[in-house]
Amino acid sequence: MKFNLKSMAMGGVGVMAVLLASGAAHAQSVNLTYLIPSGADGVAVAEELVKSFEAANPDINIDIETRPGGSEGDNLVKTRLATGAMTDIFRYNSGSLFQAINPQQFLVDLTNEPWQADVQASFKQVVTAPDGTVRGAPMGAAMGGGIYYNKAIYQELGLSVPKTWAEFMDNNEKIKAAGKVAVAQTYGDTWTSQLFVLGDYYNVSAAEPDFAANYTAGTAKFATDKAALRGFEKLQEVHDAGFLNEDFGAAKFDDGLRMVANGEAAHYPMLTFATTAIVASYPEMINNVGFFAQPGDDAASNGLTVWMPDGLYIPQTTSNLDAAKKFVAFVASVEGCEAQSRAGGASGPYLINGCTLPADVPPAVSDMLPYFAEGGQNGPALEFLSPIKGPALEQITVEVGSGIRPAADGAALYDEDVRKQAQQLGLAGW
């Protein structure tokens, strides 16, 4: 603020009033806290959202906090909600893990917020509490669960994108024979071990359309259902064939992205949210990375398992409800989508009406779009069709994927893990 010295001398009282008013305005500024999962991609998106929001709302400041992923992060979120220590806004899963944090008790009801009119119904159903109220907004793009691949390696070896698991394994044999790592795995971050099981669900549902309902009712099990068991078998098969990187037990998520981006490995099973992390960390390599759905056993039913975006939530303990709602409304807008795209490029379709993808999306994103186009084949991951997802899956898939436990035993152990969770949820049939 600039002051004219003559005016100040002649109107000290007026200037003092201006200064007091300025001080009062400053005193009324709001500081929000925002909790997000750690990782270069999530931090970059959060920083761009906050920067854009603060520019339009100079009276609101937002401090970003990070948390671990996986079960450690789940426990932290539950603890902070239960103890009243949650931030003003936080990013967390939708679907079954959303149900597990008792949204009706801990989260603000956002059903009647004006911006909900532009949120697609497919997302609303995965952030709806048991009482029918909508408690979240979409944060990020819809994701595919499948396999990143290095396009340069495919071109060098004359490989084609596989439509069946047999074709995928044949590609891996050729890659191994060429002296390259066929499949990167990163069990140092245990949550990444789940992809071959979870990403296989489109193939399960294609074979058995009623599996989710039967699973929720307690009549379908992973260990005894042939189609569901295949995900565990695939996890074991890539290990037993010697297709993995030597340090698969210690490597982390960021290592997997580096390996598939620069050609240290040909494949990395992962969710497509990771595209933004590749853009952020390896921008010069992004055009080398493609994506395909995890193949099943029938090329005619090849399709993509889809994850809904995370949700953005406000805990009922916030003391800054109006400001927190303003930020959530911004994220759930076209401007919010554009800010997310600027932070590293869209990793898939947004679920907010009016939001579009940039024309220059990375190949891994454009590779995913045909599964969503008319005539394309995609379906939700199991965790969006059933409230049951056992918390020990990532530890079990590490064991199966490391050759410690056979696939059938891992599936049976997961069925027991699922049974405990279903009983905690009070579901009938368990």
Burial of residue 334 (CB within 10 Å: 0-12, 13-18, 19+) is middle
Q: Which CATH topology does 30-140+308-342 take?
A: D-Maltodextrin-Binding Protein; domain 2 (3.40.190)
State residue 387's pLDDT score.
Answer: 85
| pLDDT by 10s per residue, the chain, length 430 | 233 333 333 444 444 444 444 444 444 699 999 999 997 778 999 999 999 999 999 999 999 999 998 889 999 999 999 999 999 999 999 988 898 899 999 999 999 999 999 998 878 988 999 899 999 999 998 899 999 999 999 999 999 999 999 999 999 999 999 999 999 999 999 999 999 999 999 999 999 999 999 999 999 999 999 999 999 999 999 999 999 999 999 999 999 999 999 999 999 999 998 998 998 899 999 999 999 999 999 999 999 999 888 999 999 999 999 999 999 999 999 999 999 988 866 778 888 988 988 888 899 999 998 888 767 788 889 988 898 888 999 999 999 999 999 999 999 999 999 999 999 888 988 9
Provide the pairing of β-strand 310-313 with 137-139.
Answer: antiparallel
Cβ burial 195-225 (10 Å sphere, 16+ → b, else e)? bbbbbbbbbbbbbbeebbeebbebebbbbeb
Burial tier of 9 (Cβ tally within 10 Å: 0-12, 13-18, 19+): exposed
Question: What sign does the CA torsion over 241, 247, 252, 254 have?
Answer: negative
pLDDT at position 373: 74
Here the tokens at position 114 are 């004006």
Helix axes 274-281, 40-56, angle to 10 degrees: 90
Per 3-state DSSP, what percentage of the chain is helix, strand, and coil (rounded to 5)? 50, 15, 35
- Secondary structure E strands in 167-274: 181-183, 265-271
Q: Contact, 378 vs 348, CB < 8 A? A: no
pLDDT, one tens digit per residue, over 357-389 is 888 889 999 999 888 876 778 888 998 889 888
367/355 Cα distance (integer angstroms)? 19
Structure confidence at residue 345 (pLDDT)? 60
Residue labelled with tokens 């396009």: 151
| Residue 99 confidence (pLDDT) | 87
Helix, strand, or coil (residue 90): strand
Where helices occur in 222-298 by DSSP H, the ranges are 226-240, 253-262, 274-281
d(C-alpha 74, C-alpha 88), whole Å: 17
Residue limits of CATH 3.40.190.10 in the chain = 30-140+308-342, 143-307+363-424
pTM: 0.72
CATH superfamily of 143-307+363-424: Periplasmic binding protein-like II (3.40.190.10)
Quote the CA–CA distance of 292 and 334 in Å, as a whole number. 28
